[in-house]
Structure formats: structure tokens, C-alpha cells
């Protein structure tokens, strides 16, 4: 079983997730910790709960989701796992940060590329990689069937979807990904998005004003 801890970090109010097993192994998804106090908050949670980070994962690489990549990687000696199509997004993140008045040091370490259908195992619990592009070219989501949840990044929100007007975004692509990758999950699956509160697949299929189930 995986437990989920959410932190809302940085001025763009991004959701960072720590998924941890009973034995203490954990993964850190989309570390958006920008300020020193936010980095301290993340580390204190991990240390105080005797957790052992084994994966650093990005759903996608827009700046608000990668502010803390370098810190997490260096603190716990972890490579970055992401989709290969996000490399260009990651490379321009510091330039975008300057546009927002949020300069930061980018991650420059080892990258390991995830493909659709890959399985990430944390103490016997599995996260399946779902390909959910459209908000960005290589967006992925992480689905845990056993505990019935999906980390959707900025693909699907409660009552909304990720914006598609940024470079590499495309509404038709995102709509297709949501319908074929997310809306095909059981209705009871909980959705943990990259911003805002959680929701469920069933609720979004019926009520999301941007993408309804066919």
C-alpha cells in the first residue's frame, strides 16, 4: 500500500507528492519547492517519517514542477525519471522562470526515460506509466491500481484540464489522452492533480466541462 502526502509549493501553487510505503521507501513526484523554507518542509517530512527516497519522478517539466529537481537529486542522490519528449521543456524552464521573475538552477544530472506501460515499483506497489500529452508534449501520469489512484500532473484537474496554449500544447491531443488513458480507468479511481484539490475519474467523466466521456 502506498500513502500519499501532498505539499503545495511555490507562487504557482503546484502540488508536490510524496508516495511512501509502509517500509519507508518513497518517491517524490514533481518537486516544486522553490523557496528554502519549502525545501526544508519537504526534507523534514521525509526525515521525520524515516523515509527512504528511491525515485525522483516528473509528470512533465514545466518550471513549477521542476524547481526542486536539483535539490531532491543532490540531497538523496537520485536520477530524474521523465518522458523523453519533455527534454526540451526542461531545458527552457530556467528561461521561463526569468520571465516569471522566478530564477532557479535547473537539473543537469542523469535522465532516465519512461515509456507508456512502464512499471515503477516501490516496496512491491506498482505505478504504471500512462502517456497523457497535450498540456506538454511528453506529459505522463502515474496509476496505482491496487490503491485506486492516479497522479495526473497537469492533464486532468478537478473540473478542468491543463492549458493547451503553451508551446507543445494541443487540445485535441490532450482530449484524446484523457479519454483513452484516464477516463478508461475505474470510476472510483482518485485523481491527484498538479494543482488544486483532488477528484475522481467518475466525477470528471460526468461533470468536467472541457472533456466529457463519450
What percent of the chain stands above pLDDT 70?
100
The residue range of the domain holding 187 is: 2-207
Domain tally for the chain?
1
Instruction: Write out pLDDT tens, residues 14-47.
Output: 999 999 999 999 999 999 999 999 999 999 999 9
Q: Tell whether pTM > 0.75.
A: yes
pLDDT confidence band for 132 (50 / 70 / 90): very high
Is the pLDDT at 80 greater than 90, yes or no?
A: yes
Residue 214 · residue 179 · CB < 8 Å: yes
Residue 18 lies in a domain: yes
Domain-located, residue 115: yes
- Cα separation of 156 and 135, whole Å? 9
- Residue 67 domain-assigned (yes or no): yes
Instruction: Over range 79-102, report the average pLDDT.
Output: 97
Q: Establish if 103 belongs to a structural domain.
A: yes
**Exposed (0-12), middle (13-18) or buried (19+): which is 214, by Cβ within 10 Å?**
exposed
CB-neighbour burial class of residue 170 (10 A; exposed 0-12, middle 13-18, buried 19+):
middle
Is the pLDDT at 214 greater than 90? The verdict is: no
Residue 97: pLDDT band with limits 50, 70, 90: very high
DSSP, collapsed to helix, strand or coil, labels residue 2 as strand
Asked if residue 41 belongs to a domain, the reply is yes
Judge contact between 33 and 46, C-beta under 8 A: no
Whether residue 158 lies inside any domain: the answer is: yes
Looking up residue 182, the CATH number of its domain turns out to be 3.60.15.10
Which position has the grid cell 515503477? 120
> For 59, phi and psi rounded to 5 degrees?
-70, -40
* Within-domain flag for 213: no
Length in residues, the chain: 214
Task: Return the ∠ at Cα 104 (arms to 63 and 5), rounded to 5°.
Answer: 55
Percent over 90 (pLDDT), the chain:
98
The per-residue pLDDT for 201 is: 98
pLDDT tens sequence across 148-160: 999 999 999 999 9
Flag whether 214 is in a domain: no
Amino acid at each position: 500500500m502506498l500513502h500519499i502526502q501532498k505539499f503545495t509549493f511555490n507562487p504557482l501553487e503546484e502540488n508536490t507528492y510524496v508516495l511512501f510505503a509502509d517500509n519507508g521507501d518513497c518517491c517524490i513526484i514533481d518537486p516544486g519547492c522553490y523557496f528554502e523554507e519549502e525545501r526544508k518542509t519537504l526534507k523534514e517530512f521525509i526525515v521525520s517519517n524515516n523515509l527512504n527516497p528511491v525515485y525522483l519522478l516528473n509528470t512533465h517539466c514545466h518550471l513549477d514542477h521542476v524547481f526542486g529537481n536539483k535539490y531532491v537529486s543532490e540531497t538523496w542522490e537520485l536520477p530524474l525519471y521523465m518522458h523523453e519528449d519533455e527534454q526540451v521543456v526542461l531545458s527552457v524552464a530556467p528561461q521561463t522562470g526569468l520571465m516569471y521573475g522566478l530564477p532557479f538552477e535547473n537539473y543537469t544530472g542523469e535522465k532516465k526515460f519512461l515509456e507508456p506501460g512502464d512499471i515503477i515499483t516501490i516496496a512491491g506497489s506498482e505505478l504504471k506509466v500512462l502517456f497523457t500529452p497535450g498540456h506538454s508534449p511528453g506529459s505522463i501520469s502515474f496509476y496505482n491500481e491496487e490503491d485506486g489512484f492516479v497522479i495526473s500532473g497537469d492533464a486532468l484537474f478537478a473540473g478542468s484540464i491543463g492549458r493547451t496554449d503553451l508551446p507543445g500544447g494541443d487540445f485535441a491531443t490532450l482530449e484524446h489522452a484523457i479519454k483513452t488513458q484516464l477516463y478508461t480507468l475505474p470510476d472510483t479511481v482518485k485523481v491527484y492533480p498538479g494543482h488544486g484539490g483532488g477528484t475522481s475519474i467518475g466525477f470528471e467523466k460526468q461533470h468536467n466541462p472541457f472533456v466529457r466521456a463519450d
